[in-house]
Amino acid sequence: MILIKKPVDTRPSEITPLPVYKKRREFIKTGLGLLATAGISPAVLATASAGYGGRKLDYSRMTEYSSKEELTDYKDITEYNNFYEFGTDKYSPAKRAKTLQTSPWSVKFSGHCEKPGSLQLEDILKPHALQERIYRLRCVEGWSMVIPWIGFPLADLLKRFQPTSQAKYVEFVTLKDAKQMPGQKSGVLDWPYVEGLRIDEAMNPLSLMAVGLYGEVLPNQNGAPLRLVVPWKYGFKSIKSIVEIRFVDKQPVSSWMRTAPSEYGFYSNVNPLVDHPRWSQKRERRIGEFFKIKTRMYNGYADEVAHLYSGMDLRKNF
């Protein structure tokens, strides 16, 4: 029998990497007994499947908001991506994102705050303890994944710069450098990629700054070294490879709003009741599974975020 300690009893250094966890569960399901009689112990299997080549991170497991659903395979999470800076098809980012230089990396914090300035990635991370959060990601195109992110609350980062009362929104900007990001030579989007949140959305405890997944630093194609994850919104709000965060008083215009304003609104909350103009949003296909499942309001996070939109017309504010 494999003993799994409760999260409160677990020191980060003792934590089993998630791929191992998942493999163990599959292992148990698919015939532990057979392999055991063949002389292969679970510990050996764990060692064999541990690690995907990235640098390991130290983190604690955050169970409060974490999904208990089956994790999407590491391969799908890291080889089926949307990152238009490396091409518009989903298999290009994994092949092409090696040209992105993620170190040194600095992020500029500007706009309506008491302490604007630029910080190196190390100084951004220093005060924050990393947590693992298993979130559903629902892409606007109709597929979804369950991803074990490693990161820390966006609110904790933003508070360090002391936003003023004029900071009604937060605008996020991706690196613009066509040498490192060859997809920027095409005019498919207005570069750099820009996204935005209302300040209360940004401060919601679910909003996460991610630096890793599956226990390791983010692969470039997933938005290294620092990306946003907003699990109740369509995936395109989760902007990758961030170089600037601005506190602003007006609603930012995101890259997708600029490109197709009738199709992509500012809020982009996952909502099965409001279809995309060209397709239904009622159902989704979990990558790795055959049958479609029902899409849930706010991607299943209604308890945590529905209050942010009370009284708003969600058809107008799509």
Residues of this chain that bind ligand MTE (CB under 6 A)? 81-85, 137, 139, 174, 193, 222-223, 235-236, 238-241
State which residue, 88 or 164, has the beta carbon closest to ligand MTE: 88
Q: At what angle do helices 18-29 and 42-49 cross, to 10 degrees?
A: 140
State which residue, 11 or 179, has the beta carbon closest to ligand MTE: 179
For residue 236, the minimal CB distance to ligand MTE (Å) is 4
Q: Which residues, including other chains, have CB under 8 Å from residue 97's CB and lie 6 or more apart?
A: 83, 86, 219, 220, 221
For residue 66, the minimal CB distance to ligand MTE (Å) is 17
State which residue, 152 or 236, has the beta carbon closest to ligand MTE: 236
For residue 233, the minimal CB distance to ligand MTE (Å) is 10
State which residue, 46 or 218, has the beta carbon closest to ligand MTE: 218
State which residue, 113 or 213, has the beta carbon closest to ligand MTE: 213
The two structure tokens encoding residue 116:
């604007």
Say if residues 197 and 169 touch (Cβ distance below 8 Å): yes
For residue 188, the minimal CB distance to ligand MTE (Å) is 9
Query: How far is Cα 6 from Cα 66, in angstroms, rounded to an integer?
Result: 14
Task: Give me the numbers of helices (H) and strands (E) for the chain, helices first please.
Answer: 10, 13
For residue 12, the minimal CB distance to ligand MTE (Å) is 23
State which residue, 85 or 284, has the beta carbon closest to ligand MTE: 85
The two structure tokens encoding residue 257:
């709003």
Burial class (CB in 10 A: 0-12, 13-18, 19+), 176: middle
Query: How far is Cα 261 from Cα 252, in angstroms, rounded to an integer?
Result: 13
Residue nearest to ligand MTE according to CB distances in the complex:
235
Query: How far is Cα 121 from Cα 124, in angstroms, rounded to an integer?
Result: 5
Query: How far is Cα 189 from Cα 185, in angstroms, rounded to an integer?
Result: 10
For residue 128, the minimal CB distance to ligand MTE (Å) is 20
The two structure tokens encoding residue 206:
């679910």
Query: How far is Cα 177 from Cα 180, in angstroms, rounded to an integer?
Result: 6
Residue of 104, 123, 114, 132 whose CA lies nearest to 229: 132
Phi, psi of 143 (to 5 degrees): -115, 165
State which residue, 82 or 207, has the beta carbon closest to ligand MTE: 82
For residue 32, the minimal CB distance to ligand MTE (Å) is 32
The residue type at 318: F
The two structure tokens encoding residue 251:
């609603």
State which residue, 222 or 281, has the beta carbon closest to ligand MTE: 222
For residue 204, the minimal CB distance to ligand MTE (Å) is 18
